[in-house]
Amino acid sequence: MTYQVPEFVPEFICDRKQQQAVTLQLPTGTSFYGTGEVSGQLERTGKRIFTWNTDAWGYGPETTSLYQSHPWVLALLPDGRALGVLADTTRRCEIDLREGSTIKFSAAAVYPVITFGPFASPTEVLVSFSHAIGTIFMPPKWSLGYHQCRWSYEPDAKVLEIARTFREKDIPCDVIWMDIDYMDGFRCFTFDKERFSDPQTMVNDLHAIGFKAIWMLDPGIKNEEGYFVYDSGSDNDVWIKNAEGNPFVGEVWPGPCVFPDFTRGETRSWWAKLVKDFIANGVDGIWNDMNEPAVFKTVTKTMPESNIHRGDAELGGCQNHSHYHNVYGLLMARSTYEGMKMSSEEKRPFVLTRAGSIGSQRYAATWSGDNLSTWEHLHMSLPMVLQLGLSGQPLSGPDIGGFAGNATPKLFGRWMGVGAMFPFCRGHSEAGTIDHEPWSFGEECEEVCRLALMRRYRLMPHIYTLFYMAHMKGTPVAVPSFFADPRNSSLRTVENSFLLGSLLVCSSTTPDQGSNEVSHILPNGTWLRFDFGDAHPDLPTLYLQGGSIIPVGLPVHHVGEMNLNDDLSLFIALDDNGKAEGVLFEDDGDGYGYVHGVFLLTYYTAELQSSIITVKVSKTEGSWKRPKRVLHVHVLLGGGAMINGKGIDGEEIQITVPSNSEVSNLILASENQYTVHLERARPIPDVDRLPGQKGIELSKTPVDLKSGDWALKVVPWIGGRIISMTHLPSGSQWLHSRVDIDGYEEYSGTEYRSAGCSEQYAVLERDLQQSGEEESLLLEGDIGGGLILQRQISIQKDAPGNLKVDSSIVARSVGAGSGGYSRLVCLRVHPTFTLLHPTEVFVTFTSINGSKHEVRPESGEQTFEGTLQPNGEWMLIDSCAGLSLVNRFDLSQVNKCLVHWGTGTVNLELWSEERPVSEETPIRISHEYEVKQLP
């Protein structure tokens, strides 16, 4: 027997603490993707993340841990081949892709690493990967429609009002969601007796107009005797234990809570029975939230890692929480799914989970968590959905319009335009924000939303087919555009387009350009633009790949209106050989008949011969009888032009192709019509500033601050940087830089440029005081997640030689899903000083422990923590100028100090501790500068 030696072999290193590091060196020019639910750029090359499920409300592009954990990397090799690498661990894992073309996993305890490939294409890697971890559950067809959600629609009359308004306004929608306020005091499996007194009647009314109802269930169970879920759970001994062996109690929405130990089969069965009984109230789907698990009033935002799970033997047995933390959400979703399945054999379960990991796609869809109503998060939603798809979870999407904050009309409309093409399509918004229904932003935005959702529903036969293939074969649903052309390196960083099968969706995520104005990079081959007569600058541009056929339905307002006997359309793009093929899956949209062959899978082909295009069925699968219906055929010619034909579905249809000159005329006429359509489209008003914002005009103006010994120039709109900091008596400009680099900044993270004030963030000048006691400038920058970065620069009259800078990260509106606490943040004060005499400077200080230090440029970067930290003061000395810049700070606010020498520059950084903040617990660093003559 011969064995094939792997082309790429990982290297394993395990230290004495059982920390295992695994590295895999790949060829130069390899691009990295995957890594699961992550924020930031599509291509993960150069990034580092940590798999630790975290309640990351208000995350930013550099947040290193979100709600789900996928220790998985998809590597696209320079030649277009692809390789997948999975670290098979449930523990906190670092995925480091910062060193060239090297993958490095690091996690506690030993774990295997599994490679998939190399294969000829990334699709083959994902198919192989899905066979290992399980394919997605087969979603009920209605769950692929549009979902409307808010925290919260209440009471029941409001729920029905929202649903009826969708029907009155002819805006497609299938599902409305109930957030935690439907419960009695946030107790799971209960209903508020006043606001939702008769849930069954309400659901019946929703069903009557074609709506499904989805209800939230959290893992935190109120610690209250007499509450039937708590009593039942205690009787069955289902709760997670603390290190002392007692049920762990942590605070969530209901107050003190206990948490089911889903690692035990007995607990999962107990929960599934509760779910089964709950479904009897007319529940169509269940939303598992807060299942990282999130715990309030803790710095870690979760339960202690010392907690004990008495897990099943096949899961790892009795282990502490650090072993099971990342799979807690998966196991809860599994229990919920199984409970729904027990309730009915005629309905497929639909579960949405916030937390998850590798394998959770077998039981639940997911969404990208508590995002923000910003253009940055609109853009980021595309790579986030794609990364989840590249990590084995095809059914995902963002909160369209953004969860936290107030969307503007253009932002909401543009987001709905592209969101209507995502695999999971839901609008959701936070309590305290303005209304985020499609009609809430004016007639123009409402029309864009209507067109976008009509487009989704027309494409529903294609989308449903993609999910059947994903379920049966493991093929992806939404993927980056480079999947169509893996060798084309220019596609590897494209983030504003994606593929739905053979359908290419090209969008704009910037406010100043419509999708029609963006120069999109198309893969090699034939790509033909088309639409449904709905062209609009705020809708994505659609292209069909040459050689493809996609099925398209009639316009409907909910999936239940789709009748298998209705007319069906085929959109066809022939390849260079005059051929095309496509597939359509059909069944009753729910239940498990398809498992037993009760479905119809139709393979269509089209071929051009002697100016005749013949469209026919090449083969079929399944016992479902083909409906008698008209089949409309639309052959794309280019420029949006097409030739049409029709016949009976299942029979051969022939279409005569016009002459070359006629085709040219059709294309020209179509392009002209497209241009006129775009010009006549009603643009969404560009209202990006809401009434009541202060400081808008002041923030556009450079500010001079001159008093005592100091003259400063501050430019608010680029992060409030101090552009110059001149000491007047000596004439020395200690901080000076161009507008576009360096300067004086703070960041809200431990990574360089992570979620801090820079050009990307709105900065408002709030208070410019020039009277009496001091000259002062107060600046604010929105850094996302309800967090504000404040900076006050002041020169006091009684201390004219001292320049004071007071920096803070303040929680302005955190709380949704987080118990009043933000994501983990670290305030990093980051001034870059330009050195006039680089060889004659050094930093000196005395540490807390009394030791003395001189740090010179040749030392590179050095960090000082603990007792080595400067004892509240350090100095930058220019011995040539005979001056020292003294920097004094509050030692209680600073966790470490960092010196970084650049080429002719130095950073003297002050870092706070890293922790969440609330309205009552901001992070602050207050420090001051003074210039002194050297003796």
d(CA 612, CA 607): 8
d(CA 109, CA 94): 13
CA distances from 270 to 108, 229, 324 (A): 32, 10, 19
Out of 43, 179, 192, 292, the active site residue is 292
Q: Residue 103: which of 42, 41, 25 has the closest Cα?
A: 25
Q: Which two tokens stand for residue 70?
A: 């996928």
Q: Which amino acid is at 128?
A: S
Burial class (CB in 10 A: 0-12, 13-18, 19+), 772: exposed
Out of 37, 192, 370, 709, the active site residue is 370
d(CA 108, CA 92): 7
Unique residue bearing structure tokens 């864009």: 448
Name all contacts of 359-362 with Cβ < 8 Å and 24+ positions apart: 359/133, 359/134, 359/330, 359/392, 360/68, 360/329, 360/330, 360/333, 360/334, 360/393, 361/133, 361/134, 361/135, 361/136, 361/137, 361/392, 361/393, 361/394, 361/395, 362/134, 362/135, 362/136, 362/137, 362/334
Output the DSSP codes for 643-697.
EEEEEETTS-EEEEPPPHHHHHHHHHHHHHHHHHHHHHS-PPP---S-TT--STT
Cis amide prior to 6 (ω within 30 degrees): no
Length of the chain: 935
Are 343 and 276 contacting, i.e. CB atoms less than 8 angstroms apart? yes
Question: How far, rounded to the nearest angstrom, does the alpha carbon of residue 574 sit from its chain's CA centroid?
Answer: 36
Out of 289, 437, 742, 746, the active site residue is 289
| Phi, psi for residue 842 in degrees, rounded to 5 | -160, 165
d(CA 239, CA 45): 41
| Known active-site residue 798 | no
Q: Residue 563: which of 461, 650, 648, 469 has the closest Cα?
A: 461
| Known active-site residue 346 | no
Return the number of other C-beta atoms located less than 10 Å from residue 443's C-beta: 12
Are 52 and 103 contacting, i.e. CB atoms less than 8 angstroms apart? no
Bridge-partner residues for 505, per DSSP?
Answer: 498, 542
**What b/e readout covers 289-320, taking b as 16+ CB neighbours within 10 angstroms?**
bbbbbbbbeeeebbbeeebbbbbbeebeeebe
Q: Residue 428: which of 289, 282, 251 has the closest Cα?
A: 289
Q: Residue 153: which of 360, 431, 410 has the closest Cα?
A: 431
CA distances from 364 to 70, 176, 391, 428, 826 (A): 15, 18, 14, 18, 34
Q: Residue 332: which of 437, 219, 183 has the closest Cα?
A: 219
| Known active-site residue 94 | no
127 SS3 class: helix
Are 285 and 211 contacting, i.e. CB atoms less than 8 angstroms apart? no
Helix (H) or strand (E) holding 616: strand 612-621
807's torsion region: left (phi>0), alpha (psi -120 to 50) or beta? beta
Q: Residue 244: which of 334, 331, 304 has the closest Cα?
A: 304
Unique residue bearing structure tokens 């633009």: 529
Question: How far, rounded to the nearest angstrom, does the alpha carbon of residue 811 sit from its chain's CA centroid?
Answer: 21
Q: Which two tokens stand for residue 89?
A: 């661990």
Unique residue bearing structure tokens 């979902």: 147
Active-site residue list: 289, 292, 370
